[in-house]
Structure 1
């Protein structure tokens, strides 16, 4: 079991675009059978909110919110490695990294964390966050 988490500060519309592009990137990167689950939670991050204010034209976009987007993965084939997970996370962040030259595109600051099942505590944390992955693992 593995996961990556993004903290993203964005308007609701920009978040929707990011989630759609993330799903496309993950689908393209995982042609093999892998179970996954996504969580989206609103969180507090004054740092990301300040970065958003510095990067965007005031009043041009709806007020942003900070979201934690988590993707949990369970791969019974063993083909999803930590290197592959890192590569997938880079594909997902590509949408956020596009630098736009005009002031009419919202910039969304973000933070990424990766976790693999190197120890029991990490695995238990991932299992508790992504309940359907544990169910998929225990199904015949």
Structure 2
């Protein structure tokens, strides 16, 4: 399926993310392209299932939509927000303008930095705590005791 379903919605996005109406238009165009229903006849309040959207089409639509929006869209979004209106409203609130997204750190941590060892020790301690909290055997009992010894 081609995600460039609308002239207004195609191509690369500017710094301003699409609003609810633009996302709604993209979804309507996409649904029209996936089904035999003409664009003008697609009711944006009707659940996707009633518009004959299959699970595979839903996954494909989520991937194309995520590519267009520049974000990862969970495959289950069509079940969580089962109409075009609900999904457009949700996604318009989820997408942030480029200025609001923190820039990625380009530099690698310096192992010669005096704080590096301390930071790594803290990271390892937090990971260890998380593993201990989530360590459960198949019977549901703790695998590791609070004192760090195996149960």
* TM-score, with structure 2 as normaliser: 0.27
Higher strand share: 1
Structure having the larger proportion of residues in helix: 2
Higher relative contact order (CA 8 A, sep 6+): 1
The structure having more radius of gyration, on CA atoms, is 2
